Amino acid sequence: MSQAVRDLLWVVNCPSFVCGNNVAPPATLTSDDIDAPSLHAFLVEQGDVHRVGRYFERLVQYWLVHVRQVELLAAGLQICEGKRTIGELDFVYRDDDGAVVHCEVAVKFFLHHPHGGVSDYPGPNASDNFEFKTGKLFSQQLELSRVHYPTVQRREAFVKGMVFYRSQRPKVLPARMSDQHAAGRWIRAGELGHLLDGESLAAVIVEKPHWLAPVAMTAVDDLASVVAGLETHFNEAGAHPIMLSLRDRSTLAEVERMFVVSSTWPSAR
């Protein structure tokens, strides 16, 4: 199974990251529903992309148009007031029931870091957070269509993603965060050596834009060599966070998804 097919299955089947009103209903997808050559051709036609969010949007568009076969009325529609662009509608389509739907899509990754500040859920680059992103999505982005696409009858947020925890997740989650969200773990670079203690695992560094489904691998790297490479990476000033996939040596199945951050993270906030 190709990585694109794996990623599309993750996009649809992963639990929603958000809950409450105006959230897209859950859906299911199987590999039998996907025409792999058609998906690959669509992605090639759309052009190479490095950003995870843009890749996610393209997979959603393929699912809407080529799997669900909805009537797509607009995609990436820029909204302007005079000469100023004030926003963009991700997708507007006519659903199976005939309703015109405005759907905003997003994929987000946050690290749980209680510190008594604005948010306990900053992103890996520490410049955004869960509350800011979801507040903007529901209060601004979805509301754009009320004035600028008045035929819309339903507004939905299609949001997937993961939270990475240091240990157990808290009992109380932020408003709008689904308790069914996908989760992983984060550590600091100085703790990399602890990964070599105990259970013998392999590892894969996860590169953008494939932060979605576990990366399809016929071979994985020795964990000790990955740790050594990461220690070198984080010795450099301004080293960016790294997503890591820990694997079972025999089956190559993903055991845990992890973010590794510098010793000073999140000092960029």
E strand residue ranges, 132-220: 154-165, 182-188, 201-206
Q: Give me the sign of the Cα torsion angle 145, 148, 149, 150.
A: positive
Q: Nearest Cα to 59, choosing from 43, 81, 76, 38?
A: 43
Q: Which DSSP state fits 148?
A: H
Which residues does 269 contact at the CB level (< 8 Å), separation at least 6?
Answer: 117, 122, 126, 127
pTM score: 0.94
Q: Is the backbone peptide bond immediately before 209 cis, with ω within 30 degrees of 0?
A: yes
- 142, with CB counted inside 10 A (0-12, 13-18, 19+), is buried
Q: What are phi and psi of 41, to 5 degrees?
A: -65, -40
Q: 62-74, pLDDT tens digit by residue?
A: 999 999 999 999 9
> How would DSSP label each residue in 185-221?
EEEEGGGGGGGGSSS-EEEEEEPTT--SSPPP-SS-E
Q: Could you tell me the pLDDT band of residue 116, with boundaries at 50, 70 and 90?
A: low
- Domain ranges within the chain, ordered by starting residue: 3-166, 185-261
Q: Which DSSP state fits 55?
A: H
Q: 197-233, pLDDT tens digit by residue?
A: 877 889 999 999 999 999 887 778 889 999 999 999 9
